[in-house]
């Protein structure tokens, strides 16, 4: 009985991390929509803040697909979110797997909120070297990438 209680407490903490990612992502996107709507901000020689709308997925994949991609990416986000919630619930007593799942869950839901409310995902972080720019991204994207890196580390540690 005590392990079930500890497991549920652990799961709640990991779901709280996912919620923190969602809140940070949505707050930063609201800020970007307010402040960056009229211009962009050069932070350093390699880092700008600029408001972009992405109707596609990573690297604007399928951005010009005509609208059906919103349903596809929303369905994928819902499926991934369910899978990550299951990982959190099942592995809540561990450290790395539920942390990875919480980051991916928070990021997926953060971008899903944009997609459903705005029809596109708000991206605003622009990293570049000279004129070569990495595709713009946001906090949700960063959380997803970090979560995937954690999952890769878990797999590498198994071998």
State the catalytic residues.
123, 141
Q: Quick one: pLDDT at residue 72?
A: 81
Evaluate if pTM is beyond 0.85.
Answer: yes
> Are 73 and 110 in contact, with CB atoms under 8 Å apart?
no
CA distance 51 to 27: 14
Q: Quick one: pLDDT at residue 108?
A: 97
Sheet with 121-129, edge to edge strand ranges: 41-42, 47-54, 121-129, 132-133
Read off the pLDDT of each residue in 4-26 and give the average, rounded to a whole number: 88
Tens-digit pLDDT profile for residues 39-61: 889 999 999 999 999 876 665 55
Q: Quick one: pLDDT at residue 54?
A: 84
Tens-digit pLDDT profile for residues 64-82: 556 666 788 889 999 999 9
């Amino acid at each position: 009985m005590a392990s079930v209680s500890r497991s549920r407490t652990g799961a709640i903490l990991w779901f709280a991390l996912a919620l923190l990612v969602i809140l940070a992502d949505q707050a930063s996107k609201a800020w970007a929509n307010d402040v960056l709507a009229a211009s962009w901000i050069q932070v350093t020689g390699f880092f700008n803040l600029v408001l972009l709308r992405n109707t596609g997925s990573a690297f604007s994949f399928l951005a010009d697909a005509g609208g059906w991609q919103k349903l596809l990416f929303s369905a994928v986000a819902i499926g991934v979110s369910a899978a990550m919630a299951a990982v959190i619930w099942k592995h809540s007593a561990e450290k790395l797997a539920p942390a990875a799942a919480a980051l991916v869950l928070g990021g997926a839901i953060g971008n899903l909120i944009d997609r459903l409310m705005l029809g596109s995902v708000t991206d605003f972080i622009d990293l570049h070297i000279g004129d070569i720019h990495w595709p713009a991204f946001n906090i949700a994207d960063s959380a997803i990438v970090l979560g995937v890196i954690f999952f890769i580390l878990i797999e590498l540690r198994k071998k």
